[in-house]
């Protein structure tokens, strides 16, 4: 396994819409393992492929923050959103920045697992927040894009000093 380099803002790959994943072969299996390893080493609870320089619709989520209990979620499609909840988020691609973001409290997601098998899951609260944050990465949207103008200015001023 190898640790991957985390791309940080303003790396242009972070603003790109990622492409669907179609290849679940050995190279991709290695990528999943490397992403999982990298996420834990960096103390993240989620990681999206564009954050490691791969513009594919892959995300890792670890709501239990426990190695071995992470989800590999490929080509996700959220088809139901309910409730609204505000919470503080950080992002490995924006070190030193956190901000309050409103997300759906509960979502239902269709996706493929690491072997390409179709699944459907319901996620709530923290897990739902992680998935929504990581899907934003797949669509080229960053945490700072979810902040209001004032919060965004403040966060970016703080980021430049970091």
Regarding 52 and contact with Ni ion (CB under 5 A), the answer is no
User: Which of 36/91 has CB closer to Ni ion?
Assistant: 91
Please give the size of the binding site for Ni ion, defined by CB under 5 A.
Answer: 1
First to last CA, the chain: 30
For 27-65, give one letter per residue: b (16+ CB within 10 A) or e: ebeebbebbbbbbbeeebbbbbbbbbebebbbbbbbbee
Catalytic residue of the set 70, 85, 134, 154:
134
For the bound state, the minimum distance from the C-beta of residue 10 to Ni ion, rounded and expressed in Å, comes to 14
Active site residue 77: no
Regarding 91 and contact with Ni ion (CB under 5 A), the answer is yes
The footprint of Ni ion (CB under 5 A) covers 91
Q: Which residues are catalytic?
A: 134
């Amino acid at each position: 396994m190898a640790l991957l380099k985390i791309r940080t803002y303003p790396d242009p790959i972070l603003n790109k819409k990622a492409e669907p994943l179609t290849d679940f072969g050995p190279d991709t299996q290695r990528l999943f393992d490397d992403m999982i390893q990298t996420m834990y080493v960096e103390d993240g609870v989620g990681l999206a492929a564009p954050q490691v320089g791969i513009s594919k619709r892959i995300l890792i989520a670890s709501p239990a923050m426990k190695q071995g209990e992470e989800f590999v979620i490929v080509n996700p499609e959220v088809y139901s959103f309910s409730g609204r909840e505000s919470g503080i988020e950080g992002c490995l691609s924006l070190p030193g920045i956190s901000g309050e973001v409103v997300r759906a409290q509960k979502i239902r997601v269709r996706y493929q697992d690491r072997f390409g098998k179709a699944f459907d899951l319901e996620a709530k609260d923290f897990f739902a927040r992680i998935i929504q944050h990581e899907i934003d990465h797949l669509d080229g949207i960053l945490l700072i894009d979810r902040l209001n103008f004032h919060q965004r200015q403040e966060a970016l001023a703080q980021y430049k000093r970091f």
